[in-house]
Amino acid sequence: MSAPPRYAPARAFPPYAFLPGEDPHPRQDPRGHSYGSHEAMADEAPRPEAWRDSEDYLFGVDLYNHGYLWEAHEAWEGLWHPAKRTDPELAAFLQGLIQCSASSLKARMGEPRGHAKLAEVALRKLASVAEAHGGRYMGLDLFGFVLDFREFVAEGSLDAEARPRIELDV
């Protein structure tokens, strides 16, 4: 499989993808790749109709697609916080992506129950947003992504590399 495209190519990936229990915690451990930095928190939520202008959203997609699952969760969480104050639908979408990333991380950690439970909650949120928007939102074919993620979980594999990637409209 070829590498997924980059949507925020100017942003560098961290030196490693954090795996709890195996790697130094990125922010809490002095050996962590983001030690000393604070959680990135956007001042305002991205506008869904202008998703291409949100480098933080696009970088979250890059992180997720390239296996930086904890880091993707963190990137999207920085957008989710302002979204939950201003746009509940955008907040549900971002939380769904956060939970898909966390579900994939649970798979990588060999935790099938956490993987399935997080996916179930995430896919409910994403399916609801998909229904409200004819299947497309923030550049993503949500109907297709939800279907693919459901299949990924239903297969019972804990191979996080088998997770569906996020392909955005260009």
pLDDT digits (tens, 9 = 90+) for 58-103: 999 999 999 999 999 999 999 999 999 999 999 999 999 999 999 9
Quick one: 117 exposed, middle or buried, by C-beta within 10 A (0-12, 13-18, 19+)?
middle
Task: Please report how the helices 69-86 and 88-108 are oriented relative to each other, as an axis angle in degrees rounded to 10.
Answer: 160
Q: Is 99 within 8 Å of 125 (Cβ atoms)?
A: yes
Quick one: 31 exposed, middle or buried, by C-beta within 10 A (0-12, 13-18, 19+)?
exposed
Q: Is the pLDDT reported for residue 13 higher than 60?
A: yes
Right CATH for 51-162 from 3.40.50.10310, 3.90.1150.10, 1.10.3450.10, 2.40.160.50: 1.10.3450.10
Q: What is the pTM of this model?
A: 0.91
Q: Is 50 within 8 Å of 57 (Cβ atoms)?
A: no
The label of the residue with tokens 């579900």 reads: 103
Q: Is the pLDDT reported for residue 161 higher than 70?
A: yes
Query: Which among 44, 38, 69, 67 has a CA at the least distance from the CA of 56?
Result: 44
Q: What is the mean pLDDT of residues 104-126?
A: 96
